[in-house]
């Protein structure tokens, strides 16, 4: 299931438009962050009629990534807007009994995913009375471009079809000003995008270890869910 959130997008626009009209001069900043996503998972059988098979997952933990962010803030305002783009990926390699081949047998399998979140939103500063240390809270909407990385016995299943999901997120950020215009930043983000993806093996069979391996033909559906907390840290620099 691909989660779409048109109401959230409308809400962001409704909130942002009046604020935009009140803004005069702007300051712009760019940030680079390292990311750690605590948990995520792949559902390899999302459409199976059996509840037990449908809910089987391949779990992933401590997924690493990186991201870049642009922020815009009106001088003297207690809020700012942002656009961020991230990249995160993890792949497992193991010998496992794989059901996508006939007959099922133990084979070297690589399974994982890559995701590019593209998010917009706004943050509001919490009044702390400090000019060097600031905390902000907010959220926004995002598009999540996702690809499953899947190969069996060295044969990669190519991604096919649409691979973009939509969702919302909430976040808390902290920043400490090192010198004017340069800050160290850290943040927590909570989101739960689910993206349905499909792959297809380019060949019908191969000879592996002296035996014929027949691959599942047609599209192979799966569902990728990144439901863990995102922990980030980096540096923000004012550019204008």
Q: What is the pLDDT along the chain (240 residues), one digit of tens a residue?
A: 444 444 444 444 444 444 444 445 899 999 999 999 999 999 999 999 999 999 999 999 999 999 999 999 998 889 999 999 999 999 999 998 887 788 888 999 999 999 999 999 999 999 987 889 999 999 999 999 999 999 999 999 999 987 899 999 999 999 999 999 999 999 999 999 999 999 999 999 999 888 899 998 899 999 999 999 999 999 999 998
**Is 202 part of any domain?**
no
Read off the CATH number of the domain in which 30 is found. Answer: 2.40.160.20
CA distances in angstroms from 183 to 17, 76, 134, 177, 231, listed in the order given: 28, 17, 10, 4, 17
On whether the CB atoms of residues 40 and 63 are closer than 8 A, the answer is yes
Separation CA 62–CA 40 (nearest Å): 9
On whether the CB atoms of residues 202 and 155 are closer than 8 A, the answer is yes
HSE at residue 25, side-chain half, CA atoms within 13 A, is 4
Separation CA 195–CA 61 (nearest Å): 18
**Is 181 part of any domain?**
yes
What is the domain count for the chain? 1
Q: What's the N-to-C CA distance of the chain in angstroms?
A: 41
**Is 105 part of any domain?**
no
| Range(s) of the domain holding residue 55 | 6-87+115-146+160-195+223-238
Locate 96 and state its tokens: 């496992």
**Is 217 part of any domain?**
no
Locate 40 and state its tokens: 């995520």
**Is 234 part of any domain?**
yes
**Is 211 part of any domain?**
no
Pick from 164, 212, 163, 170: nearest CA to 188: 170
**Is 22 part of any domain?**
yes
Locate 35 and state its tokens: 């990311």
On whether the CB atoms of residues 117 and 83 are closer than 8 A, the answer is no
**Is 140 part of any domain?**
yes
* Radius of gyration of the chain measured on its C-alpha atoms: 22
pLDDT at 20: 45
Pick from 194, 174, 195: nearest CA to 185: 174
pLDDT at 40: 97
């Amino acid at each position: 299931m691909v989660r779409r959130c048109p109401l959230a997008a409308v809400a962001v626009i409704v909130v942002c438009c009046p604020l935009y009209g009140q803004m005069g001069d702007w300051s712009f900043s760019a940030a680079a962050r390292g990311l750690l996503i605590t948990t995520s998972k792949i559902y390899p059988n999302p459409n199976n009629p059996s509840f037990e098979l449908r809910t089987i997952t391949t779990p992933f933990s401590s997924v690493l990534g990186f991201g870049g962010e642009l922020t815009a803030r009106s001088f003297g305002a207690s809020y700012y807007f942002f656009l961020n783009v991230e990249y995160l990926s993890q792949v497992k390699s193991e010998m496992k009994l794989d059901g996508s081949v006939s007959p099922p047998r133990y084979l070297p399998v690589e399974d994982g995913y890559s995701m590019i979140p593209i998010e917009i939103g706004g943050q509001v500063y919490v009044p702390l009375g400090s000019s060097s240390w600031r905390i902000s809270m907010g959220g926004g909407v995002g598009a999540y471009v996702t690809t499953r990385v899947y190969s069996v016995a060295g044969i990669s299943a190519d991604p096919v079809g649409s691979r973009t999901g939509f969702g919302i997120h909430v976040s808390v950020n902290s920043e400490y000003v090192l010198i004017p215009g340069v800050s160290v930043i850290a943040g927590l983000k909570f989101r739960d995008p689910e993206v349905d993806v499909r792959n297809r093996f380019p060949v019908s069979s191969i000879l592996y270890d002296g035996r014929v391996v027949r691959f599942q033909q047609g599209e192979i559906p799966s569902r990728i869910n990144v439901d863990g907390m995102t922990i980030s840290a980096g540096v923000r620099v004012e550019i204008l």
